[in-house]
Structure formats: C-alpha cells, structure tokens
Structure 1
Amino acid sequence: MNKFYIADPHFGHEAVIRMCGRPFATIDEMDNAIMRNWNQTVGNEDEVYIVGDFMLRSRHTPEYYLRQLSGRKHLILGNHEKWTKRLELTAYFESVSQIKEITDLDRHLVLCHYPMAEWPRYYKGSLHVFGHIHNNRDCDAFRYYGNNPNMLNAGVDINHFTPVGLQQLIANNEAFRLGGELDERLH
C-alpha cells in the first residue's frame, strides 16, 4: 500500500483553467486528464489524501468522479467542499476532516487545505502538506512557504495533474520553490 497526495483538482470547474493557466482547452479535457493520471498512478489498495477543493461548479455529481477514481480516499476539507452536504461521505471516504496527522516514510505529516505558519511538530522534521494556493507565487502564503522546505504544496498545478507520493511531492516542491518552469506533462 502506497500513499499519495493531491489538492485542488477542482473537477468540473471551468474557470480554474484560465485562472491557473492550466494547459487544457476544455473542462472535459482537464477532468479526463486528471482522472486518467490518477488511475494510472493509484492502485485500489493505495491511500489517497485529497487535501481540499476536490470539485467546484461541476455539471457532474460528486459520485461521477468518485466512482471512477481508484484508491482508498481521505478528504481534508477545503473551501470549496459544499458538495459534501449532499453526499453520504462514508460511502466514498475512509476519513473526512479539517486537519489530519499521519506518518509516511517515517515522517510526521500534518495535512490541512490551508497553508499554516505553524503546525504540530511532535517529531523533528514534521512536514505540512497543503493546497489552496495552486501555482500562485505572488500570494502571501508563498512568500512564507517558499522559504520553508517542510511545507509541501500538494496542488495539481505543481504536481503534474496527478496524485504524487511523498518523495515526488518533496521534489516537485523543491523545483517550484527554485522558480523553475512547471513541467506540465499530462502523462
């Protein structure tokens, strides 16, 4: 069993393509690419931590996406999770929370959709996995996050539109912090 992290897929949200400069012509192209990447990466017994903003303004139901995506899903609530009120969450998620603490590769992780300046650090080297800022280098959070290697942005916009394991998450964030161009491969 592997663990994967993803934030801000914004399934069904057409405006996010323009707002974040995503390399897709249509919402269907974006949704299909993210779902394809997800299912090529995640096995049925793998754990997937969705660190907020799963979908927004979609013409499809949450079930449309959730039934197609492999893995044992954990939802960390973001600011666009109003859809959760009309769904039996236990049918699709192993857990649903505002904040979650886990261990991965012998590292302590604190998952929250919003970037936090401070988080519980029970263990040396504790990491904070978040979303919310997409690929925005101009926001206040990036000014702080950009200098803190223990903060990891799980947003799809910097993680090749796919769930990633912890080592890849660390590598992608290091590259993003250094200001390199984003690798927008669609696998």
Structure 2
Amino acid sequence: MIYFTADTHFLDAHLKHDLHFAHRDFLTTAEMDQTIIENWNRVVTPQDTVYHLGDIAKIDSNRKGYSAVLDLLVQLNGQIVFVKGNHDPRALLKHLAKHQVKTESGQDKFIFHDVGLILKFDHYQFFLTHYPLMLGISVNSINLHGHIHHYAINSVSNLNVGVDSPEADYLGLAKRPFGQPFSQKEVVAMVQSKKIDFQKRK
C-alpha cells in the first residue's frame, strides 16, 4: 500500500517556542517523535511505501544530528520516498544515502527526489511536492504537498498531507492519530470530499 506524509520535524527543539507549531501538544520533542513512530507503524507495514513530502527533521547540521535522524527513520516501517523540504539539508540526505539500509524485501529503504514526482492512481494525476503548487484549472490533477502545516490552500486542486494538516477533517473522524500517514484510499476520499465542499460554496 502507498501512504503520504510531510513535516514530521523530528528532533525539532523549537516546537514548544514557535506559535506556528503550538498545537503540537507534547511535553517534549522525544514524546512527539515516539508518538509519530508508533502511529506510523500502526498502519504502515514493512512492505508498504511512504512518500514523505519534506521537512523530515530540524537539527544541528552535523554528523551527530544526521545520525540521530537516521536512528529515528530506521524505526519506521516501509520504504520511504523523500521529497526535499526547506528544512532538509542536502548533507542530511547524503548522510542517509551513505548509510542506506534495506527493507525486508531487499530494497533500498530511502529514495530521494529533489523537487517532486508524479503518481497516477484512481483516475487522478498527483503532483507530489513540498511547497504547494498552483495548478490552475484542472479536472483530475491534484497537488499533494506539505510545508504550510495547519493551513490549507484555498483551491480544490491542492491537498495538504502533512502531519498538522487541517484537511484531515475531510475524513470525518473525531480525531486522527498524530503523525499517522494518509493512505492512498484516504487521499482519494479527502480529494473527493474537498471537491464537494467547494461545490457547496458556489
């Protein structure tokens, strides 16, 4: 199965002091990291693929910081396809590539994309990026992105799949486990619910 997420911000010591992240209600960054790992592994199996659309962690740019990120990422199930975010130093991605590990099926665990990629499923074409794209008028093209945390783009063609996304409300759940990636099925359901929501606004 395929999953999507963004903006995990592992190891980000600034979270409690930044109002942008104030709704991440954890006493420590370690508690937040562990919660993400547990909620990720609750749904993602070792055979699945997760597209992580940027901002993996926020750390000191040195070998110790990069190794700490690696130690967290190897605890996550599945193959992880990374799209570089604005808080992802190229040196971090090089460190992960240099210390590549294998999945249970023998594949590389970490795959890297600088800008983005395109996936097609369920009659949609999905543009996967960190920053939101403005696609213009499009019937079946959707931009899956992160970067804006607890905000949503006022366009039916954009969907925020980050861990803070308010658009999880389109799934109609009382509360979503923090850090749980969105499945392919959930993404399609969110896209369809957002279209209905926008049609009602006309």
TM range, normalised to the smaller chain?
0.7 to 0.9
Letter in 2 for 1:13: D
Question: Does the residue aligned with 1:61 lie in a helix, a strand or coil?
Answer: helix
- Give the CA deviation at 1:95: 3.8
Structure 1, gaps ≥5 residues long: 137-141, 179-187
Which residue among 57, 62, 77 is the counterpart of 1:55? 57
Relative to the length of structure 2, the TM-score reads 0.72
Aligned positions, number = 165
Aligned structure 1 segments of 4 or more residues deviating by more than 3 angstroms: 169-175
Question: Does the residue aligned with 1:156 lie in a helix, a strand or coil?
Answer: coil
**Change in 2 beyond 3 A, CA 1:89/1:51:** farther
Relative to the length of structure 1, the TM-score reads 0.77
Q: Is residue 36 of structure 1 aligned with residue 43 of structure 2? A: no
What are the equivalent positions in structure 2 for 1:24-173 lying under 5 Å apart? 24-57=26-59, 61-82=68-89, 83-88=92-97, 91=100, 92-118=109-135, 124-136=139-151, 142=152, 145-146=153-154, 148-158=155-165, 159=168, 160-169=178-187
In structure 2, distance between residues paired with 1:66 and 1:89:
14
**Change in 2 beyond 3 A, CA 1:69/1:161:** same
Identity %: 28
**Change in 2 beyond 3 A, CA 1:45/1:89:** farther
- 1:111-150 Cα offsets, whole Å, 9 max, x none, are 010001128x6xx4111000000003xxxxx4xx22x222
- 1:36-95 Cα offsets, whole Å, 9 max, x none, are 001111011111000000111175622111210011110001001112233326823134
In structure 2, distance between residues paired with 1:114 and 1:90:
27
Report if the CA contact (8 A) 1:38-1:163 is conserved. Answer: yes
**Larger Rg, first or second structure (1 or 2):** 2
Report if the CA contact (8 A) 2:130-2:146 is conserved. Answer: yes
In structure 2, distance between residues paired with 1:112 and 1:34:
21
Question: Does the residue aligned with 2:182 lie in a helix, a strand or coil?
Answer: coil
